[in-house]
A and B are shown apart, each in its own frame.
Chain A
Amino acid sequence: MNDGFVWFAIAFWLGGWAFNEWLVRQKFSNPALNRLAWFAVPVIFGAAIIIIWEGVVIAFNIPPILLPAPSDVWVRLINSLPILWADFRQTFLKAVLIGYAIGCGSGFLVAILIDRSPFLKNGLLPFGNFVSALPIVGIAPIMVMWFGFDWPSKAAVVVVATFFPMLVNTIQGLSASSSMERDLMRTYAATWSQTLIKLRLPAAWPFIFNALKINSTLALIGAIVAEFFGTPTVGMGFRISTEVGRANIDMVWAEIAVAALAGSAFYGVVALIQRVVTFWHPSVRSGRS
């Protein structure tokens, strides 16, 4: 009897695939319809995965300890909104956002400061590149030891994780303007700060936003990992590790869904701001092809 679900899932998947195949080959005369088709293709793909997941879980009677069905996760998500909100506030609104602001801000300021000294730049750039490749999340236990169990230690991990990508990218971006443009500014008798604000920072925006985007993911990862090393009894990382221990896998998936939503929204907001700020950049202008 349960086989029906899996057949339905497979049928839905094949149908969705065929429909997508047809959809990508279409050229609608109506631009709105074209746009809709553009969005529909990945949505259908995602829906097919969820339906197959649901079908497989029901058809093969997979115990919820292994893999809960999406519908169970949804029910759990709706029923435990207060807990999820508390975790979200602890991890995202406190640790991630504050750490992100401090880390990116200080990286940016330090980059501008050392930009005037080629010696420091030559010394810090390889060092920053080196540190960005290191497993920074490993410093989490040290930060927990120094700043205690609450969110400041998580924010500290986020600060360290986001500082170096920001530093490296900003330094790179500040040297992105060509020497011709800089010479032009000199013929205008522009001061250092005028050149910085009117020429070099605008030229650096694409690099800076690149770092901001990378950091939006790094920040969330850093905060969640830091919670594995000890927290007060609230927080996304704390909830995930304890609910795994108590075999409440549907709660873990609900928490993951919240984390995914928060991460994507954070990334999306940064990308949106980038669109507004660097509207002139080729990657944005041709992005809507």
Chain B
Amino acid sequence: MLRERVLPVATVVFAILAIWCVFVVVMNRQFVEDQARRAGQEITFGEIVSQAYTLERPVLPSPHQVAAELWSTTVKKKITSKRSLVYHAWITLSSTLLGFAIGSGFGIILAIAIVHNRTMERSMMPWIIASQTIPIIAIAPMLIVVLNAIGITGLLPKALISTYLSFFPVAVGMVSGLRSPDQLQLDLMRTYNANDRQILWKLRLPSAMPYLFTSLKIAIAISLVGAIIAELPTGAVAGLGARLLSGSYYGQTVQIWSALFMAAILASVLVAIVGLAQTAVLKRMGARP
């Protein structure tokens, strides 16, 4: 366990941090030198290094700057404050979760309909798959403007982007999950004279669970992407996407990086929660660990 997993991963993470630290000097060097030249000073390499790590608006912020910004905007600020990253993360998280709930619910229902109706399968499946090859976020800005115009504002328009993105993996995963019982098992159900609903509840749904959770993991990660993207083109003032956008406008590199890390942390926590639910449900169903 230690030698096979922890050590290699730790090494890779350490190597990335080391490369990052080197690149802080490489990328910020030009800026520091220009500053010194403008001030008419000679500057030694040691000074370049030390200044590269403490620039106000660096090209590449150093790891400790990002960590300090994360710390000061999460722990030190009140969570109701507009400058708190927890507040912005919550805005994004709420639309992520709402969109994820609607999207996965809709995906499951659609999958059940598709499995039971050949016409729906043949007429809709090609479109569902095709809809995945188009860049859905192209619709995001317009969807929000349209919904604003008919009086729907706030959380729901943003959540709908997440819905659209998360619905596909769930629908497709659920269709193959509901089809996963083999012919033998279906025949057995038929010998019991089970009707469609009984087959669905007692055979198809339980055997679809592993597929469902795998899809849910993808869906919740992509829901977060959708929520962030939905905040970009609409001039949202709160949320992680809005932090990215305002950081980009005002050249606040450290703010961009800390929002990015917050998004990454959020994504991994969400995926981990779905993973825990998966373990719990599968264990309850008697799967061997």
A residues bordering B, Cβ < 8 Å? 17, 20-21, 24-25, 38, 41-42, 44-46, 65-67, 119-124, 126-127, 130, 133-135, 137-142, 144-146, 216-217, 220-221, 224-225, 228-230, 236-237, 240-241, 244, 249, 252-253, 255-256, 259-260, 263-264, 266-268
**Which label, helix, strand, loop or mixed, suits the secondary structure of the B interface?**
helix
Residues of A within 8 A of B241 (CB): 138
A127 close to B12 (CB less than 8 A): yes
Min CB distance A24 to B, Å, is 5
Choice from B127, B137, B248, B259 contacting A145 with Cβ under 8 Å:
B248
The reply on B109 being an interface residue by CB < 8 A is: no
A137 close to B228 (CB less than 8 A): yes
Min CB distance A174 to B, Å, is 17
Min CB distance A118 to B, Å, is 8
The reply on B221 being an interface residue by CB < 8 A is: yes
Min CB distance A100 to B, Å, is 13
A45 close to B123 (CB less than 8 A): yes
B122 close to A20 (CB less than 8 A): yes
Among B10, B141, B217, B228: residue with most chain A CB under 10 A: B141
Contact with A along B1-27 (1 / 0, CB 8 A): 000110111111100000000000001
Residues of B within 8 A of A260 (CB): 130, 133-135, 138
Bound CA span A42–B245, Å: 40
Residues of B within 8 A of A216 (CB): 133
Contact with A along B266-279 (1 / 0, CB 8 A): 01100100000000
Residues of B within 8 A of A253 (CB): 142
Bound CA span A140–B248, Å: 9
A20-B119, A225-B232, A260-B135 known; 6 new pairs, CB 8 Å cut-off, are: A17-B119, A20-B122, A66-B150, A67-B146, A123-B9, A146-B59
A24 close to B118 (CB less than 8 A): yes
The reply on B247 being an interface residue by CB < 8 A is: yes
The reply on B154 being an interface residue by CB < 8 A is: no
B228 close to A230 (CB less than 8 A): no
A264 close to B133 (CB less than 8 A): yes
B263 close to A224 (CB less than 8 A): no
Choice from A41, A44, A140, A267 contacting B133 with Cβ under 8 Å:
A267
Choice from B12, B245, B268 contacting A141 with Cβ under 8 Å:
B245
In the complex formed, the residue of A with least CB distance to B92 is A135
Choice from A41, A67, A133, A142 contacting B257 with Cβ under 8 Å:
A142
B135 close to A217 (CB less than 8 A): yes
A241 close to B141 (CB less than 8 A): yes
Q: List 7 A-B contacts (CB under 8 A).
A: A135-B264, A137-B228, A141-B248, A217-B135, A230-B248, A249-B142, A252-B141
Report the tally of A-B residue pairs with Cβ distances under 8 A: 160
Closest 3 CB pairs of A and B: A123-B8, A141-B248, A45-B123
A127 close to B119 (CB less than 8 A): no
Min CB distance B260 to A, Å, is 5
Min CB distance B238 to A, Å, is 16
A256 close to B149 (CB less than 8 A): no
B119 close to A41 (CB less than 8 A): yes
Among A21, A67, A122, A255: residue with most chain B CB under 10 A: A122
In the complex formed, the residue of A with least CB distance to B241 is A138
In the complex formed, the residue of B with least CB distance to A39 is B126
Residues of A within 8 A of B10 (CB): 123
In the complex formed, the residue of B with least CB distance to A237 is B138
Residues of B within 8 A of A42 (CB): 122-127
- A133-B146 contact, Cβ under 8 Å, with A41-B119, A220-B135: no
Contact with A along B122-162 (1 / 0, CB 8 A): 11111100101111111101100110011000000000000
Bound CA span A67–B229, Å: 22
Residues of A within 8 A of B11 (CB): 119, 123
A228 close to B233 (CB less than 8 A): yes
Residues of B within 8 A of A126 (CB): 5, 9
Bound CA span A256–B143, Å: 12
B9 close to A133 (CB less than 8 A): no
Residues of A within 8 A of B221 (CB): 133-135
A224 close to B137 (CB less than 8 A): yes
A41 close to B233 (CB less than 8 A): no
A133 close to B133 (CB less than 8 A): no
In the complex formed, the residue of B with least CB distance to A256 is B138
A263 close to B134 (CB less than 8 A): yes
Choice from B132, B135, B228 contacting A138 with Cβ under 8 Å:
B228
In the complex formed, the residue of A with least CB distance to B234 is A244
